[in-house]
Amino acid sequence: MSLAERAKQRPEPRRNRRQKCTVQLVLEQLPAEEAEGLATMLADPKVWPGAEIARALIEEGVVDRPVKGSTIQRHRRGDCSCDDRSAA
């Protein structure tokens, strides 16, 4: 296959399905009510941009390391390393 032919095709995203992304891990570790709240936030990107969700996770002490808005957005698009998309 030539580069010209390859350029006409969209490559399959590479995902490491052995690990879950930070967002999925947080969803699984939260109490049910909190996980539901986060899922609601994730479902409404116009009201809850990724950066705002990341800030909320940090301010509420939900995560012990920094989370970036791009991490939230990647999870929303399904471009993360999650192996279980059913929770979001």
In this prediction, residue 15 has a pLDDT band, given cuts at 50, 70 and 90, of low
CB atoms within 10 A of CB 52: 14
What local confidence, expressed as pLDDT, does residue 11 receive?
74
What local confidence, expressed as pLDDT, does residue 2 receive?
81
- What distance in Å separates the CA atoms of residue 3 and residue 42, rounded to the nearest whole number? 38
Which tens digit of pLDDT belongs to each residue from 43-75? 999 999 999 999 999 999 999 888 999 999 999
CB atoms within 10 A of CB 88: 18
18 has pLDDT over 70: no
